[in-house]
Amino acid sequence: MRERELIHLLAARLRGTHSLLACGIGDDAAVWEWNEKEYGLLSVDTLYEGWDFDRIYHAPRYIGYKAAASAMSDICAMNGQPLFLMVSLGIPQGLSPAYIEDIYEGLRRVEEKYSVAVVGGDISASRDLWLSVAVMGRVEKSKIAYRRGAHPSQLLCVTGDLGGAYAGLKILQREKAVFLQNPTFQPDISGFNYVVSRQLKPEARCDMVARLAELNIIPTSMTDLSDGLAAGLHALAQASGYGFHVYLHRLPFHEQTQRVAELYDMPLTAFMVYGGEEYELLFTVPVFEYDKLRQEPQIHVIGYVREDKQVLLEDPFGNVEPLQELGWDSLRGRDSPQREGVSPSA
């Protein structure tokens, strides 16, 4: 069973209503009435050792930083501003106080960079190390962006570049394999520092939320790409009831991501479309906003909203294929195109 299917199954068991609740289960964050002009936002994200991070190459401060940034990304996906963090920590036997302090050093750096505050949480003994971060934020009611809201002929946009986090993971896994064979080995990530940082120290795109506000642009729909571009596209399509037409040659990527794809003899498409852990923002806007976006180096128009429900990818030669709903799944791990019998040749 996929994560999305289990969520729907469990949500059906709950009442899920409240007089102050504007949007419950089903979007990137829950939404409630804060005051006359603002909504409150609430989301939570959890990282587990061996599933979401590896202590061999994730230093403790990176674990804290990544857990907080990934949780705050859900607030950004609602076009909101994160404010407060509640942190719960599962501590396995033998983990030193110094190691735990270093995890919280990563959280402190998040506080400083994003002007948020860790205001509490919980600590418990656990068989494995895990970190769960709940984030509370806010957004002006007139500026909130849900997953629903895309309409035919609107522009489809993405921030930043795609595939870097997965490329960084491939390099870290390579270095880990060598280290396990020879513990005296010193990791060599020269030439791949950017993509490695995308995996170890991802950033929530609060800067892009602020930039859209400066441009006076309110996305008609939006989500983040924690599970990958393909998963994000299908999430928006299912919420809005419309599909997307995506142009492969418009997808942004870093040259280090391309080098990793070549190193592993894999299609660059697999990294950009199915990689995950990007925390970039995927959103739609009306066509008349194009002139505001065309000169933005961190915002890329990659396609448009279709009238039907198909999610299609067009390669530079004009070949069009359906885009499979693959990517990171919290219950299954990473779905690869090869695993599902899909072979993106573009």
Residue 71 in contact with residue 32, Cβ under 8 Å? Answer: no
pLDDT of residue 60: 97
Q: Which residues contact 48 (CB under 8 A, 6 or more apart)?
A: 128, 129, 130
For residue 23, the surrounding DSSP H or E stretch is strand 21-23
Alpha carbon separation from 135 to 2, 118, 280, 290, 324 (Å, rounded): 24, 9, 18, 32, 31
What is the set of domains in the chain, with CATH numbers? 3-143 (3.30.1330.10), 155-334 (3.90.650.10)
pLDDT of residue 339: 38
86 has which bridge partners? 120, 134
Q: Which residues contact 116 (CB under 8 A, 6 or more apart)?
A: 68, 72, 82, 83, 84, 85, 110, 135
Residue 180 in contact with residue 248, Cβ under 8 Å? Answer: no
The DSSP bridge pattern shows strands 221-224 and 281-285 to be antiparallel
pLDDT of residue 244: 98
Gyration radius of the chain over CA positions: 20
Alpha carbon separation from 34 to 37, 40, 69 (Å, rounded): 8, 5, 23
What are the structure tokens assigned to 134, written together?
A: 């709940």
The CA-based angle 333-337-340, given to 5 degrees, is: 75
What are the structure tokens assigned to 42, written together?
A: 């609430």
What are the structure tokens assigned to 179, written together?
A: 């280290």
The CA-based angle 345-154-315, given to 5 degrees, is: 15
321 has which bridge partners? 313
Backbone angles phi, psi at 156, to 5 degrees: -105, 125
121 has which bridge partners? 87
Give pTM, 2 decimals.
0.91
Query: How far apart are the C-alpha atoms of 64 and 53, rounded to whole Å?
Result: 11
232 has which bridge partners? none
Query: How far apart are the C-alpha atoms of 212 and 206, rounded to whole Å?
Result: 10
- Reported residue count of the chain is 346
Q: What are the 10-residue block averages of pLDDT along the chain, 346 residues in total?
A: 69 78 91 97 95 91 97 98 98 96 98 98 96 98 97 98 97 90 82 96 97 98 96 96 98 98 96 93 98 96 97 96 74 48 38
